[in-house]
Structure 1
Amino acid sequence: MKLETEWIRYGDNGEYSGYVARWGGVKEPMPSIIVLQEIWGVDEHIQDVTRRLAQAGYVAFAPDLFARHGVRPEPLRSERVQEAQGVLNTLPQTHWRDLEQRQIALSQLPESKQKLVSDSLDYLFNLNGMMQDFVKQVVMTSGWLRETYEYSLGQSVASVGFCLGGSLSGLLAANDASLKGAVIFYGSAPSAELIPEIQCPILGFYGEHDKRITDEVPAFGEALFLAGKPFDYHIYADAPHAFFNDTRPSFHIDAARDAFARMLTFLQHVLTKDAS
């Protein structure tokens, strides 16, 4: 059998697009996993994760959160985002939101590039204003995989998200009562008022040194416990933010290996019809 991958359009009049991977020789519909991107978009890393999950026996689908009708805003085009990521990779992550430090890093670029990369960075650090649109898209994507897409029709859906996508994975759990499970990799927790709306188990992975995200996890866990919502999480010693991304300097192989194994076990449990 061969793994099939393609970019497809879906939604009303093809408004949305995404990258899908699945086993081509399987005739019956399979459970599906929504793979939710980091701020870098559906880049090679997210496509690789999508293929890895498909190889595990699922329809894996990564919606492009930035594109509408096949077009991204100019500052969020793939090549522009890659250039912005390259600049940020020269800085400690604690300096990413420091405008002065970013300007110093930008000054190392040719003058013709500085304004373009700066515009892309401004976009990437102000995605919160787009979160409602992102939530609408991922909820629609979940329903489309369950109810329309022929290769996952009638099957269970779970989500796996990283950073921005980790936050969206939690938000999807609060907005889609039919979701079977949500995996959060170093994403911000949903707000307290959304906790009662969560209907599925959640699995979280966090880095010890990612203080901005990880420090809020115990309170998130306590709120879920008090609300009777299943939540298991792991904080990896010496691991930073984005420890799972093997294309970044932040990659932490021990944490990534353990998290991948735990994620597959969780997905098998929540997505298999006979899971107890």
Structure 2
Amino acid sequence: MAAQSLLLKARTLAASRVSANLARRRVSALRPPVRSMASAGAPSDAFQKIQIHRDDTIFDAYVVGKENAPGMVVVQEWWGVDFEVKNHALHIAQMDSGFRALIPDLYRGKVGLDAAEAQHLMEGLDWQGAVKDIRASVNWLKAHGSSKVGVTGFCMGGALSIASAVLVPEVDAVVAFYGVPSSELADPSQAKAPVQAHFGELDNYVGFSDISAAKSLEKKLKSSGVPYEVHTYPGCAHAFMNTSPDGIKRRKGMGMDDENPAAVDLAWSRFRAWMGAYLLSP
């Protein structure tokens, strides 16, 4: 009888453990799909991780490129500091003239795994605080050997790049890819640094990066009095600069099937010419 009682207790305990494990799995499945930078699958070995202080906060940043070269703050998309923004920073650092590229981690280590989570992270971003992060990053580069510093960014980072042309006096030039800041954050007609901007003709993010947003930005930059260029690329949708295999797969999963290497090459050549004119000249 005692043996039967012990067997019954063992079975009950095992069943409760299985139920607990299933419950934990259900809870885990409901958690937002966020991963840390360490598991983001990016080419991290080339980058030096640093910490930057501003006001009463400290944030991580990732630096690549030769010291004393012109600096470039590279601002993330809504995904966070993932493989694609690191690919862009590496590309910039390895250009003929060479730049020292710095990526500030605006999400403080979080990376979105899908569009819904990226949207959630972007909506939770302190945009004014992000501009302060960019300013601190610009000043870090200037304090560490870069006499001139530009800002570039993609999607959310494109909007923040334009905002930095308005709100960060230390910026020497800006190149923005498919993103325009809200009027509450920054008015491009008040830009103080030269701005070059790139948009896909098929981009359907209305008011943020579509053709109407591009035309409105061009009108405002014209009234600012700073040098500017606004380029649109036929046959290209949003995020057309993301050309890594994982980036292409992610775009296709969001319904963007366009691939246009010629447009990407043209955009990079324009980037290089713009930043070269304002950062490499005496």
1:40 is aligned to 79
Question: Structure 2 residue aligned with 1:17, among 43, 60, 83?
Answer: 60
Q: Which amino acid aligns with 1:5?
A: F
Distance across 2 between alignment mates of 1:121 and 1:190? 18
Distance across 2 between alignment mates of 1:174 and 1:221? 15
CA deviation after TM superposition for structure 1 residue 151, in Å: 3.9
Q: Which amino acid aligns with 2:129?
A: D
Distance across 1 between alignment mates of 2:270 and 2:119? 35
Question: Structure 1 residue aligned with 2:267, among 240, 251, 259?
Answer: 259
1:49 aligns with 2:41: no
Question: Structure 2 residue aligned with 1:8, among 42, 46, 50?
Answer: 50
2:99 is aligned to 58
Q: Which amino acid aligns with 1:265?
A: A
Q: Which amino acid aligns with 1:61?
A: L
Moved more, 58-67 or 216-225: 216-225
Moved more, 3-12 or 202-211: 3-12
Q: Which amino acid aligns with 1:8?
A: I
Distance across 2 between alignment mates of 1:121 and 1:168? 16
Question: Structure 2 residue aligned with 1:140, among 131, 136, 147?
Answer: 136
Distance across 1 between alignment mates of 2:48 and 2:81? 13
1:217 is aligned to 214
Q: Which runs of 5+ in 1 are unaligned?
A: 89-117
Question: Percent identical across equivalent pairs?
Answer: 26
SS at match of 2:225: coil
Give the length in aligned residue pairs: 219
Q: Which amino acid aligns with 2:240?
A: F
**1:189–1:220 Cα contact (<8 Å) kept:** no
Where do residues 163-202 of structure 1 align in structure 2 (5 Å cutoff)? 163-189=155-181, 191=183, 194-202=187-195
For normalisation by structure 2, the TM-score amounts to 0.71
**2:79–2:118 Cα contact (<8 Å) kept:** no
Distance across 2 between alignment mates of 1:159 and 1:242? 18
Distance across 1 between alignment mates of 2:192 and 2:279? 14
Where do residues 203-214 of structure 1 align in structure 2 (5 Å cutoff)? 203-211=196-204, 212=206, 213-214=209-210
Where do residues 261-276 of structure 1 align in structure 2 (5 Å cutoff)? 261-274=269-282
**1:163–1:186 Cα contact (<8 Å) kept:** yes
Distance across 2 between alignment mates of 1:18 and 1:197? 28
2:6 is aligned to none
Where do residues 55-134 of structure 1 align in structure 2 (5 Å cutoff)? 55-56=94-95, 57-67=98-108, 72=109, 76=110, 78=111, 81-82=112-113, 84=114, 88=115, 120=117, 123-124=120-121, 126-127=123-124, 129-134=125-130
**RMSD between superposed Cα atoms in Å:** 2.3
**2:150–2:275 Cα contact (<8 Å) kept:** yes
Distance across 1 between alignment mates of 2:267 and 2:198? 7
Change (3 A) 1:261 1:16: same
Query: 1:80-131, CA deviations, whole angstroms, 9 ceiling, x for partnerless residues?
Result: x23x2xxx4xxxxxxxxxxxxxxxxxxxxxxxxxxxxx6x35623524x521
Change (3 A) 1:122 1:162: closer
CA deviation after TM superposition for structure 1 residue 226, in Å: 2.4
2:238 is aligned to 241
SS at match of 1:229: coil
2:225 is aligned to 228
CA deviation after TM superposition for structure 1 residue 201, in Å: 0.9
Where do residues 150-169 of structure 1 align in structure 2 (5 Å cutoff)? 150-152=144-146, 155-169=147-161
Q: Which amino acid aligns with 1:42?
A: V
Change (3 A) 1:125 1:267: closer
